[in-house]
Amino acid sequence: MGPLQSKTPFFAVSLFCDRYCCCFLLLLLLVSGRNGYYVGADSPLTAISHDLYRSSGTLLDEVRALVGRHPEQLTVTVVTYSRSRRDIGNSTFRVLLSFGQHGRELITSEVALRLLYALSEETKVPGVDPTYLDRVLDDLVIKVVPMENLNGRKLVESGELCERRNGRGVDLNRNWSVDWGKKEQDFDPYEENPGTAPFSEPEAQIMQKLAESFSPHVWVNVHSGMEGLFMPYDHKNSTPGGSKFWAMKSILEEVNRRHCHGRCIVGSGGGSVGYLAHGTSTDYMYDILRVPISFTFEIYGDLEAPSKDCFRMFNPVDAVTFSSVVNEWCAAFLLMFEIAPRRLGDTDGGRVSGDYGDSSGGMISESGGVAALRGGGAKVEGIELGLQELKTYFRLFMMSTVVLMFMFCTRISRNRSRQTKFGPLPL
């Protein structure tokens, strides 16, 4: 793994509540070169619905406002290293959620932001009892990465609506080490560029460091492009064996029944999407970091959209559908927070083992930052971790505002995405 070559900051927000529930809002602001994504001018394309979707700047303003509304609970600090104030015991259940890995999937970041509001108890999720939320979040640590791929998102906002890659033209969901670089017969060198080596991209390096230090029990990579709930593997048409398979399968089936209303495809990514994907983050989490519950969620897709009409294909374009997707998937995550510890505990003889990871509950190496909701006085702390050039890497810089990032990853059926030379790919 080479050094990070970023000249812009990497930020995080911490929220501390009267429970061990931590929302970690990591931001990857990583500047690099890029190639434009071609979209034919002969097709009518759906533009970004600015009345529904926040720009990255507007979203950051909302985070600042959230901090301002809670001056007794939130502070903003610039650090190069952060550790939670109180150790989290091995019995604490840890969840890592990733949004915005692919730039064109704006809806995933909207779900991340709404989930943050729900966890902060500023917004109610329709159909969810607040007392239920309190019970679910007890003794739970949640890290949320709202937007991994900010540079790719910026390209989409500038008009390159089909862009899924990062600013250097690399697909971040092909840049992980499990089966990296393998090319299927229908490999698309433009959309699926895996980079020059595993973890060649700063975003992937940062996410790997975060996951390794946090050691979650549950990992979910959230995308759009279709409706599906996937477990490993992406790089082969098979699922894991043993008790973990049954735990993952039962969780996905219940989420599908209650919040996808039976529409979602459930199974392995490689066996369900219609093609194999090599070098994905979910396969790495399961195989290398041994995260026992590793998922990819595909939360929305318009399969009737033309292949070049990427915004419509990956994002709801009307207010009713937008609201339904955001609310339904927030409720789905709350359901997962409730049932995952129990299902995993069933595979461990009725207990949740700390062997899946450390108990630091938020120690991030030099490339990360943390945000945590925790008990004992309800001190909410926003942490912005600046990633500068290597020569200034460990230097405290200036007080700054809190920035969010959204992570998108795309998933849509391969045969659909291959309709044109520049057609979008799923996963």
**Residue 391 burial (10 A CB sphere; 0-12, 13-18, 19+):** exposed
Which residue among 157, 191, 298, 384 is the active-site one? 298
**Cα–Cα distance, 142 to 373 (Å, whole number):** 9
How far is residue 114 from each of residues 23, 99, 119, measured CA to CA in Å?
A: 12, 12, 9
Residue 138, Cβ neighbours under 10 Å: how many? Answer: 12
CB burial readout 180-219, b (16+ within 10 A) else e: beeeeeebbeebbbbbeebbbbbbbbbbbbbbebbbbbbb
| Structure-block tokens of residue 76 | 């903003």
**Cα–Cα distance, 243 to 349 (Å, whole number):** 11
Residue 271, Cβ neighbours under 10 Å: how many? Answer: 17
Q: Where are the alpha helices (DSSP H) in 158-214?
A: 202-214
Cis, peptide link before residue 275, omega less than 30° from 0: no
**298 part of the active site:** yes
| Structure-block tokens of residue 65 | 């406002």
Is residue 27 within 8 A of residue 112, CB to CB? The reply is: no
How far is residue 38 from each of residues 133, 155, 191, 356, 419, measured CA to CA in Å?
A: 45, 12, 11, 43, 15
Rounded-to-10 torsion of CA 73, 333, 206, 20:
40
- Active-site residue numbers? 298
